[in-house]
Amino acid sequence: MWISQPYKNPWTRILSHAGFWIGYLLINVLTGLKFYPDKSGLQLLLQFSVSLPVDIIATYFTVYFLYPWLLYKRRYILFALAILVSAALFIILQRMIIYYITYPNFYAGLKPKYGFWEINWFYSFTNIYLVVGVVSVIKLMKISFEHQKNARELANEKTEAELKFLKAQVHPHFLFNTLNNLYALALDKSDKTPEVVLKLSDLLNYMLYECNEPYMLVTKEIQLLENYLSLEQIRYGDNLRLEFRVSGEITGKRLAPMLLLPFVENAFKHGVSKVRKNPEVNIDLDITGNTLDFEVKNSRSLLPGTDLAGYTEGIGLKNVKRRLELLYPGRHQLMLEQNESEYCIHLKVNLSSQNER
């Protein structure tokens, strides 16, 4: 069922409707001056004011009663019958006003050219329902705009809810991977365990309490990556060859939070952890203008079942791909490649929208 959206201020509705009918009345007066040059504007104003209530009643009855109760419910036959019956009643009411008010008061000594029941039904119907048609078009346009607005709001709410859900998934996914690392160190009774716990605490503090904005400074995201990489370096020690290079115009740039971390996590979980000897991870982050280039290269295992398909099936990458689609539609490129010795993920993002504020 169609529901009209209420005005925030009832006086706005009253004034807008009053303004419409005053304008309609003035148009009738100006038109009447051409057809009745012997009449003054004041006379025509009074004359048309007498019959105006018929137009108002017909309009509101049709638009606010027949439309929502019959037309919008697809009761088309009943709607057509209701229009015909109500139109006949309004036409007769208009004839009564002409015969018993208009002529006696504005055309003294004259009688109507036609008898009371000598009605030109088509002309009379058009005369009344022309304004009904105009109001109907305005009303339908308003409804259409409201539906489009509501659809956009619902789509935005759905997107926002999905983004919050996807972002929330990053936390347990990251925590699961890091706790695995911590567990491995604890089994080895490593002296580095307290340091890992402290760094993990810093990471979780950022993820849970600091990155609640839609977009965070890239410098903060870089710090997040550095902290995570230091954890992995502690875990693998000198066996891991790790490089993280940052270049370009970083200061002041903003990016969706934790968008880059899953790519780095993926490099360790599905790449480094499966390489037995001297694994490598090379990460490059560059911002030129409003374009971010992010590349992660890591060693791959030569064992069966470690192809690119398996590398990209993790929850983390599926999650970040969806976030990219929602946050940067048409403004990002993601390429995943492999050769005999390494996997490579290359992400390019246009940051213009959030950095032009």
Reading the block at residue 96, the tokens are: 């009564």
What pLDDT is stored for residue 5 in this prediction?
A: 47
Taking only the tens place, the pLDDT of each residue in 301-337 is 766 555 555 555 566 677 888 888 888 988 999 998 8
Reading the block at residue 342, the tokens are: 């390494």
| pLDDT greater than 90 at residue 175 | no
CATH superfamily of 162-355: Histidine kinase-like ATPase, C-terminal domain (3.30.565.10)
What pLDDT is stored for residue 4 in this prediction?
A: 46
**Confidence class for position 17, pLDDT limits 50, 70, 90:** very high
The answer to which of 158-162, 203-207, 233-237, 314-318 has the lowest mean pLDDT is: 158-162
* Residues ≥6 apart with Cβ < 8 Å to 64: none
Taking only the tens place, the pLDDT of each residue in 185-212 is 777 777 777 877 887 787 778 777 777 7
Residue 212 to residue 27: CA distance in whole angstroms: 57
What does each C-alpha distance from 256 to 244, 282, 292 come to in angstroms?
Answer: 20, 22, 12
Q: What percent of the chain has pLDDT over 90?
A: 34
Higher pLDDT, 211 or 55: 55
Place of tokens 């875990």: 235
Average pLDDT of 55-60?
Answer: 96
Residue 171 to residue 148: CA distance in whole angstroms: 35
Give the residue extent of every domain in the chain. 10-119, 162-355
Reading the block at residue 171, the tokens are: 């936390």
| pLDDT greater than 80 at residue 62 | yes
Residue 4 to residue 204: CA distance in whole angstroms: 47
Residue 211 to residue 230: CA distance in whole angstroms: 20
Residue 299 to residue 310: CA distance in whole angstroms: 14
Residue 339 to residue 321: CA distance in whole angstroms: 22
Residue 181 to residue 169: CA distance in whole angstroms: 19
